[in-house]
Amino acid sequence: MQKGSIRVQTENIFPIIKKFLYSEHDIFIRELVSNAVDATQKLKTLSSIGEAKGELGELRIDVKIDAEKGTLSISDRGVGMTAEEVDKYINQVAFSGAEEFLDKYKGQNENNIIGHFGLGFYSSFMVSEKVEIFSKSFREEAKAVRWECDGSPEFTLEETEKGERGTSIVMHLNAESKEFLEPYRVKTVLEKFCKFLPVPIFFEDQQINNTSPAWTKKPSELTTENYQEFYKELYPFSEAPLFWIHLNVDYPFNLTGILYFPKIKQSYEIQKDKIQLYSNQVFVTDEVKDIVPEFLMLLHGVIDSPDIPLNVSRSYLQGDPNVKKINAHITKKVADKLEEIFNNDRKSFEEKWESLGLFVKYGMMTDDKFLDKANKFFVMEDADGKFLTLDEYKETTQALQKNKEGKQVVLYTTNPVQQDAYIQQAKAKGYVVVKMETLVDSAFINSMEMKWQDMIFTRVDADIADNLIDKTESAESVLSKDESEKLKTLFNRPFEGLNLQVEIKGLGKEAPPVTATRPEQMRRMKDMAAMGGGMAAWYASMPDEVNLTVNGNHPIFQKILSEADAGKQEKVVKNLSDLALLSQGLLTGNNLTSFISRSVELMEQ
C-alpha cells in the first residue's frame, strides 16, 4: 500500500475546485462518462494496431446507483491503469492541470471545459465526500489497483482484486448531492450530456444513447426519412422541418452537423438556443452565439467540432480564427442551399416563404455576404399573392414606380385588410403593392433602404397613390377658388390627439371623397418611438400627423356646398373626415362615439 500527499503548491485546492470548477454541478457526470469513452476508444485503437491482445469483449459504460451505500459509480471496460499510471495521471498530471486552471480561471464560472486540463476526474469531488478508483490495465500481468481520496491532499493507493479490465469511479456522495441517488435525476443528466456518445452507455439496464447519430454519417448514407427521424429524436414535439443542411468539413477545420429549418407559422414562435453544440459527440451547450451567425440562431439542429476552443472565455471565442471560419462557412452553406431550392423548385420555395422569409430578411440585415447571395432568391409577395424577386419587381414597376430622384418606389402594405381601399386605388393606377406584415419588416425596410441605394419603401397609405410616385399630375378641379377655400374651412377643425392638415385636390371621380394618410417617415418614427422608452416614449405621445386629401371633383361636394342647413353641412363634412380617419385606425374613444351618434342622427334626417 502506498500513502502520500498529492503534490500541490496551492493549499486547500479541493474547496476551490468544489466551488469554482463548474457552475453546474451535474456536469461531473459528463466529465466522467467522457473519460470512460476516451479509455474505451483508446483500447479500440491499441487493438487495431496490435498493441492490445486478445478479445475485447463487449465495450460499454455502466452507470450505477447504490442507494444503501450512498454511491454513484461509472465503470468502463477500456484501457484501465496500472499503479504507476494512476500515480502519474491522477496524482501528478491532473493536479498540475488543476493549478493551471485556478491561476487562469479563478472567479469565472466557466462550465465548458472538456478534460483540457486533465480536470475531468476531479469534478467528482464537487459531489463526493470520498472518491475511489478501481482499475485494471489491459496490459498482460497487470495488477488491479485501488485509489482513494477524501477531498484532502492525502491519498491511498494499493493493490486490489478486480476481475475485468477497465476502470470504475465510485463516488460516495456528500450530503448536498444526495439528489444523484435518484434514478430520474441521473437519467436526465445522462440524456442531456451523453445522448449521442459513441460507446454504449447503460443505466438501470437500459442503453440511454444513440452511438451513431445522423450527423456522424455521410450524407450519401442517409435518406430523407433518416433526417426526419433524427429531427424527432432531437425535438420530439416539433412539426417536421422544412429542409436541412448537412455540414461535413475536415479542412481547414473540423465541422460536422445537421442544421434544420423549422416550420414557423407566426413571428412570435421564434425560439433561439435550439442548436446543440457537441465536441466529439459530447454535448457542450445550446448557447452557440458567435459560432453560428446570429440570423441562423433561429435554426435547429446539431454542430460538432473539436476545433472550437471550449475551454476559453467568450471574448477569446469571438476572436478565434477557427470560429470565424466556421461562422462564415455555415453562412455560405445556408445561402447556397436556399439558392439551390429556389432555382430547382421555386414553387416549393414560395410555399415555404412564410417561414423562410424570417431567416432570409434577418440575414440580409445583419450579414453583407449573405445579402449579396440573398438578392438572387429574396422574394416579395404582392397583394394578389404573386411572388416577385427583386429584379422582377424592378422590371414590373420600371415604367410607373420611379420618383423624381429616379429611385424605385416599393409600395407596401402592413395590413392588407385594413389598407384594402388604398391597395385598390394603387392597383387601379397600375402600381404593384407588396406585403410587409411580419415582426421583422419595419427593421428590414429601414435597413434595406440604406443597403439598396436605388430603392425607397413607402407604405401604400402614406399618401394618395399619385403623390407617392410623383408622376401623375392632379386632374383639374371642378371647384372654383372660392368653393375650394370654403370646403377647406369646413374640413379644418381641431381634433384631439391628431394634427390634421387639409388639402383640396382635383382627383378622378372614382377616387374616394376624402383620404386620410400619414407621412411615411413621420409614421415610421412614431412606430419606433412607441417601442422604446425615455425620450422615445415622449415622442410617441406627440399627436399623430395626418393629411386629409379632399377630392374636390367628387359629386358629393356639390351637394354639401349647396346645403342650406349649416348644422347638417358641418355634420356631413365631419362624417366624411371621420370615415377617412376610421380607415387608418385613428378614430377611437370619444371621437368614435361621436361619429356613431352623428351617423344615426344623419340617417334619421
Indicate which CATH number applies to the domain containing 567. Answer: 1.20.120.790
H or E stretch at 247: strand 243-249
Residue 350 has pLDDT above 50, yes or no: yes
Residue scoring higher pLDDT (148 or 117): 148
How far is 259 from 338, CA to CA, in rounded Å?
A: 13
In this structure, the answer to whether residues 572 and 545 fall within a common structural domain is: yes
In this structure, the answer to whether residues 223 and 198 fall within a common structural domain is: no
Residue 11 lies in a domain: yes
Cell for 388? 416577385
Percent of the chain with pLDDT over 90: 35
Residue 355 lies in a domain: no
In this structure, the answer to whether residues 198 and 219 fall within a common structural domain is: no
Residue 526 lies in a domain: no
Least confident of 44-53, 127-136, 304-313, 337-346: 304-313
CB 409 within 8 A of CB 460: no
Least confident of 8-12, 263-267, 487-491: 8-12
Model pLDDT, residue 343: 95
In this structure, the answer to whether residues 191 and 63 fall within a common structural domain is: yes
> Among 67-71, 97-101, 139-143, 263-267, which range has the highest average pLDDT?
67-71
- Cα torsion for 267, 382, 360, 240, to the nearest 10°? 60
Q: How many CB atoms lie within 10 A of CB 262?
A: 21
DSSP letter (8 states) at residue 555: T
In this structure, the answer to whether residues 201 and 219 fall within a common structural domain is: no
Q: Could you check whether the bond before residue 293 is cis, i.e. omega within 30 degrees of 0? A: no
Cell for 554? 367628387
Domain end, chosen from 183, 207, 231, is at 207
Residue 535 lies in a domain: no
Domain end, chosen from 207, 228, 257, is at 207
Alpha-carbon Rg of the chain, whole angstroms? 35
> Among 108-117, 242-251, 511-520, 584-593, which range has the highest average pLDDT?
242-251
Mean pLDDT of 583-594: 81
Model pLDDT, residue 140: 86
Residue 518 has pLDDT above 70, yes or no: yes
Model pLDDT, residue 530: 66
According to DSSP, the residues that pair with 276 across neighbouring strands are 302
pTM, two decimal places: 0.73
In this structure, the answer to whether residues 14 and 148 fall within a common structural domain is: yes
Model pLDDT, residue 312: 42
Q: Helices 481-491 and 566-583, interaxial angle, to 10°?
A: 70
Residue 361 lies in a domain: no
Residue 501 has pLDDT above 60, yes or no: yes
In this structure, the answer to whether residues 200 and 86 fall within a common structural domain is: yes
In this structure, the answer to whether residues 509 and 550 fall within a common structural domain is: yes
- Reported confidence tier of residue 7, pLDDT bands at 50, 70, 90: low
**CATH number (domain holding residue 56):** 3.30.565.10
Residue 113 has pLDDT above 50, yes or no: no
Model pLDDT, residue 8: 54
**In 511-568, beta strands by DSSP E:** 514-517, 544-551
**CATH number (domain holding residue 406):** 3.40.50.11260
Domain end, chosen from 148, 172, 207, is at 207
Model pLDDT, residue 385: 93
Q: Which domain holds residue 494?
A: 481-518+541-604
Least confident of 421-425, 465-469, 549-553: 465-469
Residue 177 lies in a domain: yes
Model pLDDT, residue 262: 87
**CATH number (domain holding residue 284):** 3.30.230.80
Would you give the distance in Å from CA 464 to the centre of its chain? 39
- Reported confidence tier of residue 115, pLDDT bands at 50, 70, 90: very low
Residue 187 lies in a domain: yes
Cell for 492? 379644418
In this structure, the answer to whether residues 184 and 252 fall within a common structural domain is: no
Work out the angle at residue 424's Cα, subtended by the Cα atoms of residues 475 and 442, and round it to the nearest 5 degrees.
Answer: 110
φ, ψ at 509 (rounded to 5°): -65, -25
In this structure, the answer to whether residues 155 and 246 fall within a common structural domain is: no
Residue 222 has pLDDT above 50, yes or no: yes
How far is 309 from 398, CA to CA, in rounded Å?
A: 52
How far is 131 from 148, CA to CA, in rounded Å?
A: 6
Interior/surface letters 173-195, b for 16+ CB within 10 angstroms, e for the rest: bbeebeebbeeeebeebbeebbb
Residue scoring higher pLDDT (169 or 140): 169
Residue 372 lies in a domain: no
Mean pLDDT of 70-75: 97
In this structure, the answer to whether residues 451 and 500 fall within a common structural domain is: no
Sheet holding 408-413, edge to edge: 433-435, 408-413, 455-459
In this structure, the answer to whether residues 67 and 191 fall within a common structural domain is: yes
How far is 410 from 398, CA to CA, in rounded Å?
A: 11
How far is 225 from 247, CA to CA, in rounded Å?
A: 18
Domain count, the chain: 4
**In 293-421, beta strands by DSSP E:** 300-304, 379-381, 387-389, 408-413
Model pLDDT, residue 219: 92
